Structures are given as C-alpha cells and as structure tokens.
Structure 1
Amino acid sequence: MLGLQHLPASVLQAGAIFLSIMIEALPFVLIGSLISGFIEVYITPDHVHKVLPKNRFFRILFGSFIGFLFPSCECGIVPIVNRLLEKKVPTYTAIPFLATAPVINPIVLFATFTAFGNSITFALYRALGSILVALVLGIFLGFIQTNSILKEGAAPLHTHDFSQVSAWKKVGQAFIQSIDEFFDTGRYLVFGCLFASLVQVYIPTSMLTHISHNPFTAILLMMLLAFLLSLCSEADAFIGASLLATFGFAPIMAFLVIGPMIDIKNLIMMKHSFKPAFILQFIGIISVVITLYCLLLGGF
C-alpha cells in the first residue's frame, strides 16, 4: 500500500475507474456465463428448429426475437448459428438470431438498464436498434440474397453432445461450460475496462469533445471502438456508460448496438463457415443501418 502512494495521481485515478467498472460488470458476466453453460448442455438447436413458423416473413421475425430466450453473450452465438444452419434452419432466420441474441436477452437488457442508472431508455433503444438491424438482414437474405452464404466443404465446428450424459454429469458439464465462458470473456472485459479508464484519464477532453461535436464522426468512432474492444455484451454497457458524458447519446447507442454484432472474435469464427463476400455484406448492412438509426436518434 505504501508503494501505491508514490504512484502518479493519474495512475491512481485510472486504477480507481478501472476497478469501479470491473466491479459493476463482473456479476452480469458471471450470471450470463452460468445461464449460457446450462443452455449449452440442456437446449439444442433441434428444439428451436421444431417450432419454426412456415411463413418466410414470420421466420425472419422468429429469428429476430427468439434471442430473448438465449441469455448468452455474443461469444457463443456463432457456433450456435452454425449448428442451426447445419440443421437446415434458413439463413434468414439464423442470421437475425445472430444479430439480436447477444442484445435483447434479459441479462444484457438488465445490465444495460443498470449501467445507465436504472434508465429504461438505453435498454429500449438498444433493443430496438438490434431488432431493426436483424429485420433488414433477414429481408436481405430472405428476398434479395438467394445464393448460399456458406463456404463449400467447410468443416463443422467442434460441438458437444450431452444427450447420452447422466443427469448429474449434465449439471457438472453445465458448470464446466460456464467456467470456460466466464474466463474466455473475462479477458476481453479486463482489456475493455482498462482501455475505458485510460481514455478517461489520459486522452485530453478537448480532443474528445471536438470529435463528439460532429455526430456522424462520433458515431463512426464509437462503432470502430466497439469493434476493436470486442467486449462481452453483458459488460459493454458499463464501458459505454463511462463514456456517455464525453460522446453523448447517439454515439454511445451505436457502440452498444454494433458491439455484439461485429467484433473481432465473431468475425474470426464466421470466417470459418461463411463466404467472405457475405461477411462483407454483413458488416456493410449492419454499419449503414446502425449509422442511420443513431443519426436519427441524435436528431441529425
């Protein structure tokens, strides 16, 4: 403790901000990891496939909203989507699910609600933005892009089959999956919290204020930041809340909506199964829709 007294005040301030964000975010990451682990063991894509509607547009809606029942962050969504596609779930259902599941599930919405001082506004507009993106993606894949978006001959991702496991072993496997996800996502959370704390302490406020004066530039900057940080969707709201005073409502909303959809982890996993052309279309559609959505929110 005596050694800390000799550190510069800015380092101590950054450390305090880092710890405050971490303490707020960790419980939500833990809860999300636990629920995700049990979903991995007890719920299979077959269960979802059995309840798919027959109508194409209703399938798009189904894919856009079913994520509410999957309290998992984006880290585990791509393997689930690949499994759904292997089970012949249409792309215009699976891809909207990929876009909304990490955002509209109860854990993430409650984390967003809490991070912004128990404000329903941010949680509501975040959910609406993700649903809008999902609908556009679904319509694009269902009515415009009719070619296959999957790579030919792509090897299936490693998946787990717990159907033959005893009841007690299933519980144990659920906790094992939860622990793996917690530590896997926790490292990204640590980096994000550290980055946010350093931004608040060391980047001149005048520079950020100058950027935030232009809504379009600020939105693009926060979208890029969300991609670079690749935060867990159960914790990114706390990072966004810490930057709200600097950037304002619309750029932070762009950060919250695009982060779970386009991040480094997901793109690497998507590259395994999806054609590069579709990945570029995926990034382009999401970026354009979110930019327009947030510009409208900002009163541009």
Structure 2
Amino acid sequence: MTTLSPLKLLPLLLPISFLIIIGFIWVPNQLELLDNAYIDTFKTGFIGILLEALPFVLAGALLSSLLRVFIPDEMISRWIPRQALPAILFACLLGIIFPVCECGMIPLVRRLIHKGMPVYVAIVFILSGPILNPVVYGATLTAFRNHSELAYARMGLAFVVACIIGLIIYATVKKSPIRLSVQRETDNTHHNNSRGGKLAAVFVHTSDEFFEMGKYLIIGCLLTAGIQTFMVQDSLAAIGDKPLGSYFFMMGLAFVLSLCSTSDAFVASTFVHSFPAGALLAFMVFGPMLDFKNSLMLLSLFKTKFALYLFFLIFSSVFIGAVLMSLWL
C-alpha cells in the first residue's frame, strides 16, 4: 500500500489558498451566502463546467497512455531533423500527432532528453504539445461554439509562441541546462508494461492520469463557480475593463488553477461576457505552458537559472502575443 507523500499535496496548496481568499475577501455579503439562490447557482455552474470538460479529460488521458505504451521513445528521437528550424516545426507537429496533456508532458520529455532529444526541441514540445492537438482543439471549439475564432487563435498563438521560444533557446543557451541528477537517471519507461500486458498498462496509465488531472479540474471548477457566483459582477467587469488588468488577472488565474488543457476552455468560456477575447486567449495559452504544478516539474528537470529564464520567456511571449491577437479578435 502506497502512502501519500506531502510533496504530492504541494500543488494543491496555492489553489486552496486562493479559494479561501476569495471566500473571505471578495464575497459581496457573507450572510447572503446561505441563500438558496446562491447555492443553486454555484451547484449549477460547477456541475455544468465539470460535465462538459470530463469527456475531453478522459480522451486526453487515454491518448496519452496509448502513446506512452505503444510508441517507443527511440522512434520519436530518430525522427528529429538535424537543422534547428525543421526540428522546431517537427516538435510542434509532434503535439498534433501525439496528443499529451501537460500533466504527462514532463515525464515524457525527460525520457526523450535522456535518449538524445536536443533541449530546444524538448522545450518546443513541452510548450506546444498540450495545446496543438485534436482533443484540445475540439474541446476549445465546443466551449466557444459562438466564438470559434478563439479556437483558431489559440492554436495559432501557441504555435507562434512555441516556435519563437524554441529559436531563442537555440540561439542563447549553449550549455546543457539539465540538472545533473536527471542526467544520471536510468530509463525505466516501460518497466511496468510486461505485467498484465500492454492493454492492462494502457488502462492503468489512463486511470492514473485521469485521476491526477481530475483533482485539478475539480478545484478549477470549484474556484470558477465560486467566482462567478459570489464575486460581485461589477468587480469582474471593472477588472475586464482595464486593458492590462484583465490580462494579468486571467494569466494569474490560469497559473493558480493549474487546469488541464483539455478542460480550461470550458472555464474560460464562463468569463466571455466579463473579459475581452485577448485576455481569454492569454488564459488558454499561458495555463498549459506554465502553471503552478508544471512549474515545479520544470524546476525539477532544469537548472533554476534556466527555468526562471524560460518562465520569463513564456510570460512575455504569451502576453505580447495575446495583446497583438486581440487586435484581430
């Protein structure tokens, strides 16, 4: 029987703290929270977002598990072009062919780097893979049925940001930023595949990833339903009316919620009448690239200086790109 490590609970502390802060600071009138109208609105919002997102989370977990079990890491490594630009474009294409949620991206990339994938290619795959895939595109299109341009803009901005950051890393980083502890690791990717066969391994990995992503989805749905129900709508409108404030708020919310890329569009769609399209786009691109849980995983994979450099590149690129894209939206 496995014990739950306190480190595994660490990514949950910030979202829970955020929920407590909302409960005590942003509620319009705490006595009114006992009103049945508030409770009914909260339950309806929470269940609606959760039920819409769950099928896409399950599909993403299943496809990620199929990739993990049936596609050897060596096969992907052999396909990588030698030239920088084709290699970057290839890394973006990997996300389309092999959909992997950001929750499982770091372990996969760790194995690929161990087998010889260049770091700048790995970075592009980390950034683009969770967004540039058919499951996420379908989820975004479903969430924004009446605003399909946001789905196209999300794919386009993620592709451009990943390519730009990949080129910057290729041009500026010459020494390996991988932690020495990671470089010494042995590859134990498929050590469980022999027990019960590959089909059993698919079900095991799918259930593990589904429940791993599910807890973040539930927290995100709770926070979003709470904001929509208890926060004064004038306050949301005031934040949305501020050109920079709306972007910073939505990007900060994406970092805190740590949602899976297959479900964040459903959360973003609840803010469609309160925030500009550019801020919603920043939420949907920034969150899968950098949130609380994967920032911890990136810090465990890369040296601290490089990780902070990468965080800055992601934030600035997404922010500038979303502002420019808002001119089209």
Q: Smaller-chain TM-score range?
A: over 0.9
Query: Aligned AA for 2:155?
Result: A
State the match for 1:234 in structure 2: 262
TM-superposed CA distance for 1:157, in Å, is: 8.1
State the match for 2:102 in structure 1: 74
Partner of residue 190 from structure 2, selected from 161, 175, 186: 161
Unaligned regions of 5+ residues in structure 1, if any?
1-5
Give the Cα separation in 2 of the matches to 1:90 and 1:197. Answer: 42
Give the Cα separation in 1 of the matches to 2:245 and 2:288. Answer: 21
Unaligned regions of 5+ residues in structure 2, if any?
1-33
Query: Aligned AA for 2:185?
Result: P
Query: Aligned AA for 2:189?
Result: H
Deviation string 1:222-262 (CA, Å, 9 cap, x unpaired) is: 11100000001110010001111111201000000011010
1:18 is aligned to 2:49? no
State the match for 2:3 in structure 1: none
Kindly indicate whether the alpha-carbon contact (under 8 Å) linking 1:79 and 1:157 is maintained by their aligned counterparts in 2: no
State the match for 1:3 in structure 2: none
TM-superposed CA distance for 1:177, in Å, is: 0.3
Cα distance, 1:56–1:298 mapped onto 2, change above 3 Å: closer
Cα distance, 1:17–1:41 mapped onto 2, change above 3 Å: same
Q: How does 1:1-300 map to 2 (within 5 A)?
A: 8-117=36-145, 119-154=147-182, 156=185, 159-161=188-190, 165=194, 169-299=197-327
TM-superposed CA distance for 1:297, in Å, is: 2.2
Deviation string 1:21-62 (CA, Å, 9 cap, x unpaired) is: 111001111111111111111112211111111212211211
Kindly indicate whether the alpha-carbon contact (under 8 Å) linking 1:162 and 1:170 is maintained by their aligned counterparts in 2: no
Kindly indicate whether the alpha-carbon contact (under 8 Å) linking 2:193 and 2:201 is maintained by their aligned counterparts in 1: no
Cα distance, 1:264–1:157 mapped onto 2, change above 3 Å: farther
| Number of residue equivalences | 294
Q: SS at the partner of 2:178?
A: coil
Q: SS at the partner of 1:117?
A: coil
TM-superposed CA distance for 1:73, in Å, is: 1.1
TM-superposed CA distance for 1:138, in Å, is: 1.0
Kindly indicate whether the alpha-carbon contact (under 8 Å) linking 1:216 and 1:295 is maintained by their aligned counterparts in 2: no
What is the RMSD of the two structures over their aligned residues, measured on CA atoms?
Answer: 1.9
Kindly indicate whether the alpha-carbon contact (under 8 Å) linking 1:38 and 1:174 is maintained by their aligned counterparts in 2: yes
Query: Aligned AA for 1:256?
Result: M
Cα distance, 1:177–1:163 mapped onto 2, change above 3 Å: closer
Q: Percent identity?
A: 33
Kindly indicate whether the alpha-carbon contact (under 8 Å) linking 2:46 and 2:225 is maintained by their aligned counterparts in 1: yes
Cα distance, 1:127–1:187 mapped onto 2, change above 3 Å: same
- Dislocated runs of 4+, deviation >2 Å: 152-160, 162-166, 297-300
Give the Cα separation in 1 of the matches to 2:92 and 2:281. Answer: 19
TM-superposed CA distance for 1:211, in Å, is: 1.2
Q: SS at the partner of 2:99?
A: coil
Kindly indicate whether the alpha-carbon contact (under 8 Å) linking 2:220 and 2:259 is maintained by their aligned counterparts in 1: yes
Segment of structure 1 superposing worse, 122-131 or 247-256:
122-131
Segment of structure 1 superposing worse, 250-259 or 133-142:
133-142
Kindly indicate whether the alpha-carbon contact (under 8 Å) linking 1:38 and 1:175 is maintained by their aligned counterparts in 2: no
Give the Cα separation in 2 of the matches to 1:233 and 1:46. Answer: 26
State the match for 2:27 in structure 1: none
